[in-house]
Every structure is written in structure tokens, then in C-alpha cells.
Amino acid sequence: MRDEQRQALEQFLAARAGAHAVRIHDVRLLSGGAIQENWSLSTSVTGGPHEGELECVLRSDAPSGVAVSHSRAQEFALLQVAFRAGVTVPEPLWLGDTSVFGRDFFVMRKAKGTASGHRLVKELDLGGDRELLVERLGEELARLHAIRPPVEGLAFLRPPTLSPALQCVKDSREFLDGHRAAFPALEWGLRWLERHAPVTPALVLTHRDFRTGNYMVDETGLTAVLDWEFAAWSDPLEDLGWFCARCWRFGQFDKEAGGMGSREALFRGYERVSGRRPEREAVFYWEVLAHVRWAVIALQQGERHLSGQEPSLELALTAHVVPELELELLRMTGGHHA
């Protein structure tokens, strides 16, 4: 971060925090996030309601992003709505603009802990009791899903014109039609999704990337649900299916809830807050959809490298997760050839 950016940020933070002065004494670029940049800011606030040390994170656009992700202003609005609904998210503090930092950004309170999926599934001292953690995650989802349209500040979220399931089928097919190669196994998955598509009785606010790797824990438990850029009005079971999908278990396949705990615990937490018991068979549909959707996103990420716009080994390798997603998709939908 350049000196003039830091000074502009200090002035911005002081004005928004109602402080006499804010001094940033440590800045670090955090890893993770192919779409956004996250900067950790350690600040000292003099005067005003935030007087004292304030640890926060500045989230800004990266040089390029996936077309379907929200702007920082929209993500800030989503965080505010989730925060007010009692979902454990980093407290959204202030929304900034390009005049301050050169790119759009917002500032949120820093959550403690780690989010790395690979670490979480291996280091069992992280996250406290795992069954309790997974149960808590179920409760978090239920709180989020209590939010129904319309909501002030979320007008930018357009309800799907079709049912969420069929909308995903349509969008995925449109993407594949314009892609450089065809994917017959994905097509079979899409056909299965089309033929088995459920009706969504009522749209709710969904996270749509709610999985291990996108929430933070410390030694005692959950500290924050992160990465709201895919949030949309959808079927509540989409989030449960995404969380349980085999492709998001980080190799811990017997722990069906995100590689962390039992499905039973997740559903128990969900039912306690929502009053609705998720049915395993209904969630299964969304696990199939999760594999299709993740494969499409992986192709899009690979394309960012392939197109030459953003040479990146990580993006290049992401395209290579597609075959294993397709194999699992075939297994789930009767395409397994013994």
C-alpha cells in the first residue's frame, strides 16, 4: 500500500469513526480471494466512539473478477442485512469509494481465527467441539434464511425469473454454449437437474458459497461467516446442499457436513432456529447442483487464465478439478458404469 493511500485511508477512517485522528500502524495483504483483495489494518483511534485500538479489514476489488460477483457496495449492504439478522459476520463498518483508495472498498471489523479449509479438517483443536460447530453453522444458515424479499438496501438482488433450480440449469447451459469445449457429463448432470427440479415455495436470502473455507473459527468456535459475494434470493436448501456436497469436504468424506461434522448436527441446528427439518433427499438434489455449479465456476476461473487476461497457476489448476466433479456427478445421477 502506497503512503498516499495510507494517508487518505487514515483521513477517511477518522471522518467515518467520528475521531480526531486515526493512525494505521500495520498493513498486511491477506492471502486468499481470487476476486477480492483483503488488507488487514491495525489502527489506533483517538477520540470518538471507537477510541482505542481498532483491528479491521479493508476489502477491495482485485484487478479482475468473476462477472457474477457483487460490487463492494452490494457486499457491504449484504453484510449489514446479515449482521442485523443476527448472523455471525464481520461487523460492517464503513463503505468507501475510489477517491480514497483508487478502487471501491469497504471496511469491516476484523474477525479472529483461520478459515483455511485444509487446516480446519486436519487441525482438530481449531473450531472447538466439531459437532457443536456444525450445529452452530446450521443455526447461522437458518437465521440467514429467515430473511425474505423485499429488503431495503437489497434491491440489486433480482429474484430469478425461473425457479432457482431451473435458473441454474439455464444459466449453466448458456455458459457452456459459449465455452471453448463441450462437457457431456455436465450436460448429463444438467439434464438430471432439469428433470428432478423441485419447486421453491418461497425465496429466501442465501449465501451461495457457504462452505468450509468460507467461515472463520478460533479455538472455541465460529467467529465469522465470510465471502458474501455470491449471495442471492434462492431456495434455502441450496446452501445446505452446497455445504454438504462431497466436493467441499476437503478429503474428509465421512464427515458429510463440510468435512467437519455430521449432517445430523447441521440439520439439528438448522431445525432448532428455523423450525423446519431439512429432508435428506431434498438436500441431495442441491448437492448434485453444487457439483454442476462448482464445475461451471471452475471453468470460468480457468478461463481467466486461458484467455491470457490473468495468468495464474491457481486459476489454471482450478480448471483441472472439473473431471473429478464430473465423475462424482455421474455417480450421483446413475451414470456410474461398473
Partner 1 sequence: MRECPDGAALLAIAREVLRKELLPLLPGDKAYAALMVANAMGIAERQLRNGEGPQREEQQALATLLGREGSLADLNREFAARIRRGDIDIDSDAEARRLLWESTVQRVRESAPKALAAYSPSAARHVFV
- Residue numbers at the binding site for partner 1 (CB under 8 A): 31, 173, 176, 181-188, 190-191, 253, 313-314, 316-317, 320-324, 326-327, 330-331, 333-338
52 vs 334, beta carbon nearer partner 1:
334
Integer Cα distance of 6 and 30 in angstroms: 16
36 vs 333, beta carbon nearer partner 1:
333
What the block records as the C-alpha cell of 248 is 467441499
Q: Is 68 helix (H, G, I), strand (E, B) or coil?
A: coil
246 vs 268, beta carbon nearer partner 1:
246
Q: Which amino acid is at 295?
A: A
Integer Cα distance of 329 and 315 in angstroms: 22
Least separation in angstroms between CB 180 and partner 1: 9
Integer Cα distance of 20 and 275 in angstroms: 48
Integer Cα distance of 314 and 295 in angstroms: 15
Least separation in angstroms between CB 126 and partner 1: 16
220 vs 252, beta carbon nearer partner 1:
252
Q: Which amino acid is at 250?
A: F
Q: Which amino acid is at 91?
A: E
Least separation in angstroms between CB 317 and partner 1: 6
Least separation in angstroms between CB 118 and partner 1: 9
Phi then psi dihedrals of residue 209, to 5 deg: -145, 35
> Can you count the helices (H) and strands (E) in the chain?
12, 9
Least separation in angstroms between CB 144 and partner 1: 30
162 vs 317, beta carbon nearer partner 1:
317
124 vs 317, beta carbon nearer partner 1:
317
Q: Do 104 and 71 touch, CB atoms closer than 8 A?
A: yes
Report cis status (omega within 30 of 0) of the bond before 150: yes
Least separation in angstroms between CB 208 and partner 1: 24
10 vs 194, beta carbon nearer partner 1:
194
Q: Do 134 and 265 touch, CB atoms closer than 8 A?
A: yes
172 vs 206, beta carbon nearer partner 1:
172
Q: Do 55 and 223 touch, CB atoms closer than 8 A?
A: no
Q: Which residue from 229, 226, 241 is spatially nearest to 165, judged by alpha carbons?
A: 241
> Which residues make beta-bridge pairs with 42?
26, 55
Least separation in angstroms between CB 183 and partner 1: 6
31 vs 161, beta carbon nearer partner 1:
31
Least separation in angstroms between CB 334 and partner 1: 6
Least separation in angstroms between CB 168 and partner 1: 15
Q: Which residue from 83, 121, 113, 108 is spatially nearest to 222, judged by alpha carbons?
A: 113
| Cβ atoms < 10 Å from Cβ of 19 | 20
